[in-house]
Structure 1
Amino acid sequence: MNNTEQQFLNDLDNKLWKAADQLRANLDAANYKHVVLGLIFLKYVSDAFEERQEQLLELFQTDTDDNIYFMPRDDYGSDADYQQALNEELELLDYYREANVFWVPKAARWNTLKVKAVLPIGSVIWQDDAGADVKLRSVSWLIDNALEEIEKSNTKLKGILNRISQYQLDNDKLIGLINTFSDTSFTKPVFSGEQLNLHSKDILGHVYEYFLGQFALAEGKQGGQYYTPKSIVTLIVEMLQPYSGRVYDPAMGSGGFFVSSDKFIEEHAKEQHYDAEEQKKHISVYGQESNPTTWKLAAMNMAIRGIDFNFGKKNADSFTDDQHPDLRADFVMANPPFNIKDWWSESLADDVRWQYGTPPKGNANFAWLQHMLHHLAPTGSLALLLANGSMSSNTSGEGEIRQRLVEADLVECMVALPGQLFTNTQIPACIWYLTKDKANGLVLNEKKRDRRNEFLFIDARNLGFMRDRVLRDFTSDDIAKIADTFHAWQGNNHYEDIPGFCKSATLDEIKKHDFVLTPGRYIGAADQEDDGEPFSEKMARLTAQLSEQFAESDRLEAQIRRNFRGLGYEC
């Protein structure tokens, strides 16, 4: 993305967020996100629909040998007849479904919302199928009606669009939001006099993602349940490189890993001179989420980006109600809640997923890990964010499970992360990378080497920068440094151990550390720069400096005692 496009998106983010933030006086972030994200979704489907209409209209009027859509003007008696025929043809549902565009009924189109929302309450806005007058009840009712009409016409969206009437918002505030979105060009945008090469899907997808992040910040701990920091998601995707196959996230939140996988394909398709849209056909997305609200957010996120998805028949617990029992995925990625205590059910006692040991009832970390392994294809790879304790804990059998995973040669790489990366927890975290096939494998047409009984440790705790007083973030260079190190090690491509950052260890070394997988155990301290001062001279200088500081401390202590005595106190 060039600087002009980035500036356009930044300005757009600020403009729309400022408009949306006006709702904060009436609703908390956990609720008003549904109003705003619902409007973003309506704007997207309507823009995509109109874009398809424009394409069809051009096809209907363009006479070429291979154009099966062409409608000759001479076949109609008058211009009015011809125009009516064009309008009727534009309303045929199949034209939109063949282009993977959601059908938007007239009552749900953005222009309908814009025009009808400003009418006085009680105005007749249209007639129903029986010819009866339909009157405007409220702007929130108008929006809910649009969402309902879209769900009726698109089975893929059934049950995922959140209604907003329950929040009892002022009509004027909703009209203001509608007008703000209406005043923004999402199709063929122009910025600083320059036509931008951004499509409606790209822009609204970006806005949706930006708003999810902003809402997560506003909600704090609660927001972390559906939002993983973008840089962490990008890091995991860049390391796993999910270019084709089945991608699965059993704790998907709002679907960030799927969005990042989609972007990964687009970026690397450019580098490899592939057709990105064609390559995306080789990716299948599977997810699961227990929270019903978050499940809907994820489905909307996929719909806006045009990503086909299978999130199961409903929101459900991945442990007790697995929506994809037969799935064996090529890539599995997840950021489940850390150290869940109340996950256990007696129905899980002899579950087939606990191949390496029954997880402790008071902590779900190794349950998530084994659930993901169970769903991993024979040549698949997975990445899992967990609390740091998972690398060293020996309580309730966790040490034995970790040992069995290492001895089965499933663990490929451990990455220790810096603190303050997450909005919802300050618990230090790490990333587990596991694979069922360390002997070979291909990624982006590059062969991996045989890595059996070898393990890579990366300590990234010193990377990143403080984005504000609370949150740390990774730069693109930080992400590239970690990912490139991993790929160099996998392919034996000029990999070298770097003290303080990375170390390739053997099974024997891990045994010596009692199967503890904390990177700091193996990597050691970073090399210190030589300042040119001989050791003996440095020690003499520092010893003299310390003696001076001790003497100064004694002098100050004596002075303080004299001052107290002068006040009549002994100390």
Structure 2
Amino acid sequence: MKSVELRASKASMEIGDRLRSEIQYSQFHEVATRIFMAKFLLVNKKHSINIPADITWETISSSHYNIGNQIDKLLDEIIYLNKPHLELLNLYSLSNIEDNLLYDCLLIMDHSSLTTEEFQDFNLTGQYFIHLVESFMRRDKKVLAPLITPKELNKLMIKILKPSSGKIYDGAAGIGGSLIEAYQLNNRVSMFGQEISESNVALAYMNAIVNGIELSLYQIAKGDTLFSPMFIENGSNLMEFDYIVMNQPFGLKLNDRNLMDYDPYGRFNGRMGKTGKMHGDLAFLQHTVASLNEHGKAALIIPTGVLSRSSYAEKAFREYIVENDIIEAVVLLPNKILPAVAVQTVLLILNKNKDQNRKNKVLFTNAEEQYVIGSRTQYYLKQDNIDAIVSTYEQFSTSTKDTKIANLQEIRESQYNLNPNHYFTSQTVESEFGEIVINKALYDKRVDNKKSLKEIAKLSRGVNLPSKNSIKENKKGYKVIQLKDVENGKISLESIEVISVQNAERYKVQSGDIIIASRGTAFKVAIVPEHNEPLVLSNMFIRIRITNPSYIPEYIKAFLESPVGMALIEGVQKGGTVKALTTKDIEDIEFPNLDLKEQEETVRTVQEAEEKYNILLQQAQEVLKIGKLSAYSKMGISDVMERLK
């Protein structure tokens, strides 16, 4: 018998093929899940849902007419017989889909789902349902994938929380995966969730039912968690929970400033920082802290930016959770662990009732290597990876290079920066010498005389470029340096494109300016050469303009390109697959403070080495060319090769 996952994947593929060009792709899972749900309710004999006595699966599956109406009627009657919570089960009607399509989908579900005996096992029906949904999600990553948290991440968060009893809450519940994971670990918990998508609320209840969860323990409310929280006590207070688990939406913009400024629950305008419209990541964290009871604990998937950005609100929040000793651990997660998410993510663990040995301390863990490759764009956690991360958290020690325990004073001195990269003493970089481990603590200790970039230069970012659709031909513009124009530490002036940009004067470069890539996967540093016409820098770069005549740009560039310089830059970069830098990130980077003569000697050494390398490279290329021509002559093909001039 094929595994449940393979059967669910096969069913999703075949149903998708049958429905293709008939309905929108984003609706395929709506059809498949309702067919599976109808079959489960009529075949499984162990669930506690009241169902009408006059409908059987055999009646529906053998019918060639009004199939959609029959399934809709079944779900309508189930809603009527089980009044609380299930109102959205009939949100998507099958009555508008042709009978021949639905009949084929029913046959596929019969052939590629579970046997009647297997339908009695909640473990198997739960597995099948989630694999069915995930199969559709994976095929439509842009629209559907962000709506679901990988099961392995839910399992990791719940294993960290270890809920024993009481109430657990997810304010971005999706299809309820985190709450179901909690129930499977301990069925004594009461589950609460809020979700803004009606379709997801319906799927969340289906998910609970096929997993055998008693609905009296499970409640998913439909609504906006930030602006309209649904779990309220005494008419005016947020309900407080023992546990909170959440994979919140990333980069959310908040448009209702009035509600933010006058939040009736005091989440966004008080001690935890005044939230602005760009602070969606922060707002969910504030909501979480406000929703924890006095001994509550939370496990949250968040982007790293909110833990290190310099905005007043985000820094105020970090100061609040540090000084109130609420933050317990930050785990740096592998890249590509969330579908369709490029930014770097962490697991943030908050705890209002920390063990005595953890008080006034924060554990930072680097778990970037804890993954298996599923595809070029998607990584996964295996059980071994989950166990390793949980074990590191539970041990709360610094026994490996990938862990660091920081006390409150150390975090204060770091301006409440909670990005784990800031606290690891070692950084591995890929350089021209191969893979090198840089010990930043030794650099700080052994290189006494150092200067920061902001002490000797002005840093600024480049100009935002207009969209390609808005660029008009023959419109007056400026040559704008983009990522494609910089290779091997040089700017190719001949290939620079002319683009019409606003406020170009602010973003012009001059000869001697150092530019460093602020976006992308490639490490790029260059010095602007002498030029005859205005050059403007794009927002893909940061400009470093040296203002102190005691320093030369070639020396600063040589340091930034060194393994130590690369490690310092990578240590402050934000993002996952696509890294990002800001001027604030790099202005504090310190370089060895040599006098002008020593700088010139250092630069001369580098230049002489590069000149010798280029000469030897040309000689090696000539040797290779002569050898290959000799080989082609022996093959008898050299005479038919016309040499291009």
- Superposed pair shares fold, TM > 0.5: yes
In the alignment, which residue of structure 1 is the partner of 2:299?
A: 383
Residue of structure 1 in register with 2:616 after alignment:
552
Which of 312, 325, 328 is the aligned partner of 2:232? 325
Residue 43 (structure 2) pairs with residue 47 (structure 1): yes
Contact persistence 1:248–1:332 (CA under 8 A): yes
How far did residue 397 of structure 1 move? 2.3
State the partner residue of 2:423: 522
Q: 1:453 to 1:483 in 2, by over 3 A?
A: same
Which residue of structure 2 aligns with residue 36 of structure 1? 32
Aligned to 1:257: 178
Matched, 1:17 2:12: yes
Which residue does the alignment assign to 1:294? 200
Contact 1:248 1:286 survives alignment (8 Å): yes
Following superposition, the deviation at residue 343 of structure 1 comes to 4.8
Which of 402, 423, 426 aligns to 2:318? It is: 402
Work out whether 1:113 is the aligned partner of 2:15: no
Provide the C-alpha distance between the structure 2 equivalents of 1:263 and 1:311, rounded to a whole number of angstroms: 13
Residue identity matched to 1:204: T
Q: Deviations over 1:52-73 (max 9, x none)?
A: 5xxxxxxxxxxxxxxxxxxxxx
1:436 partnered with 2:431: no
> How far off is 1:423 after superposition?
1.8
- Whole-Å separation in 1 of the counterparts to 2:185 and 2:617: 59
- For residue 496 of structure 1, the aligned residue among 398, 408, 413 is 398
**What is the aligned partner in structure 2 of residue 238 from structure 1?**
159
Kindly state the Cα deviation for residue 398 of structure 1 after the two structures are TM-superposed.
Answer: 1.2
Deviations 1:355-413 (A, max 9, x none): 41222221211111111111111111001111110110012421122122211111100
Residues 567/212 of structure 1: CA separation in 2 closer, same or farther (3 Å cut): closer
By how many angstroms is 1:14 displaced?
3.8
| Correspondence for 1:415 | 331
Give secondary structure in 1 for the equivalent of 2:222.
Answer: coil
Counterpart residue identity of residue 337, structure 1: P
Say whether residues 1:349 and 2:261 are aligned partners: yes
How many angstroms apart in 1 are the aligned matches of 2:27 and 2:617?
58
Deviations 1:242-289 (A, max 9, x none): 232211001111111012112333xxxxxxxxxxxxxx1x21000001
Q: Which residue of 2 aligns with 1:507?
A: 408
In structure 2, how many angstroms separate the alpha carbons of the residues matched to 1:450 and 1:350?
39
Label 1:200 to 1:313 Cα distance change in 2 as closer, same or farther (>3 A): closer
| Counterpart position of 1:162 | 90
Query: Counterpart amino acid of 1:285?
Result: M
Residue 217 of structure 1 aligns with an amino acid whose one-letter code is R
* CA shift digits 1:179-200 (9 cap, x unpaired): 33345544424xxxxxxxx843
Aligned to 1:515, the other structure's residue is in SS state coil
Alignment of 1:311-322 (within 5 A): 314-322=221-229
Closer/same/farther in 2, CA of residues 34 and 142 from structure 1, 3 Å limit: same
Per-residue deviation, residues 85-116 of structure 1 (Å, max 9, x unmatched): xxxxxxxxxxxxxxx6112113443122123x
What is the alpha-carbon distance in structure 2 between the residues aligned to residue 526 and residue 164 of structure 1?
Answer: 51
Residue correspondence of structure 1 range 33-112 to structure 2 within 5 A:
33-48=29-44, 51=45, 101-112=48-59
Tell whether the 8 Å contact from 2:195 to 2:222 is kept in structure 1 after alignment.
Answer: yes
Kindly indicate whether residue 22 of structure 2 is the aligned counterpart of residue 26 of structure 1: yes
- Distance in 1, matches of 2:420 and 2:198, equals 37
1:144 and 2:72 correspond: yes
**Distance in 2 between residues matched to 1:557 and 1:350, nearest whole Å:** 70
Q: Which is worse superposed, 401-410 or 222-231? A: 222-231
Q: Is 2:212 the counterpart of 1:306?
A: yes
- Deviation, 1:158, is 3.5
The DSSP-based 3-state class of the residue aligned with 2:275 is coil
What code does the residue aligned with 2:381 have? F
Which AA in structure 2 matches 1:411?
I
Identity %: 22
* Alpha carbons of structure 1 residues 157 and 288: separation in structure 2 relative to 1, 3 Å: closer
Q: Distance in 2 between matches of 1:112 and 1:556?
A: 79
- Asked if the contact 1:216–1:423 (Cα under 8 Å) also holds between the matched residues in 2, the reply is no
Judged with a 3 Å threshold, the aligned counterparts in structure 2 of structure 1 residues 258 and 370 are, in CA distance, closer, same or farther, namely same
Residue in structure 2 matched with residue 65 of structure 1 by the alignment: none
Shift in CA distance, 313/248, structure 1 to aligned 2, threshold 3 Å: closer
Which SS does the other structure have where 2:274 is aligned? Answer: coil
**Whole-angstrom distance in 2 between the partners of 1:180 and 1:140:** 16
Q: Deviations over 1:311-352 (max 9, x none)?
A: 768511112211112321111011111111135441231331
Listed one character per residue, the Cα deviations across residues 520-539 of structure 1 (whole Å, up to 9, x for unaligned) are 22122279999xxxxxxxxx
Bigger drift between 246-255 and 464-473 goes to 464-473
What is the CA–CA distance in structure 2 between the aligned matches of 1:163 and 1:141, rounded to whole Å? 13
Deviations 1:127-172 (A, max 9, x none): xxxxxxxxxxx22112211111211111135412135546732312
Q: What is the CA–CA distance in structure 1 between the aligned matches of 2:244 and 2:333, rounded to whole Å?
A: 20
Q: Which amino acid aligns with 2:148?
A: Y
CA displacement 1:437-490 (0-9 Å, x = unmatched)? 11x3xxxxxxxx43111110011122212201211111211111110110111x
Q: Tell me which amino acid in the other structure corresponds to 1:140.
A: G
* Structure 2 residues not aligned, in runs of 5+: 234-238, 429-434, 438-605, 627-642
Which structure 2 residues correspond to residues 467-482 of structure 1 after superposition, within 5 A? Answer: 467-482=374-389
Tell me the secondary structure at the aligned position of residue 247 of structure 1: strand
**Change beyond 3 A, Cα 1:558–1:525:** same
Matched to 1:143, the amino acid is I
Q: Counterpart in 2 of 1:453? A: 360
Aligned-partner residue type, residue 226 of structure 1: L
Query: What is the 5 A alignment of 1:524-543?
Result: 524-525=425-426
Does the CA-based 8 Å contact 1:510-1:516 persist in structure 2?
A: yes
Query: Partner of 1:364 in structure 2?
Result: 280
- Which structure has more relative contact order (CA 8 Å, sep 6+)? It is 1
Richer in helix (by share): 1
The alignment yields a C-alpha RMSD, in angstroms, of: 3.1
Query: d(CA) in 2 for partners of 1:226 and 1:482?
Result: 24
Q: What is the one-letter code of the residue matched to 1:428?
A: Q
The runs of 5 or more residues in structure 1 that have no matched partner are: 53-99, 122-137, 190-197, 266-279, 441-448, 490-494, 531-542
**In 2: Cα distance, 1:553 partner to 1:335 partner:** 51
SS in 1 for 2:364: strand
TM-score (norm. length: structure 1): 0.71
The letter of the residue matching 2:369 is N
In structure 2, relative to structure 1, the CA distance for the partners of 1:513 and 1:350 (3 Å cut) is same
**2:301 touches 2:346 (CA, 8 Å); kept in 1?**
yes
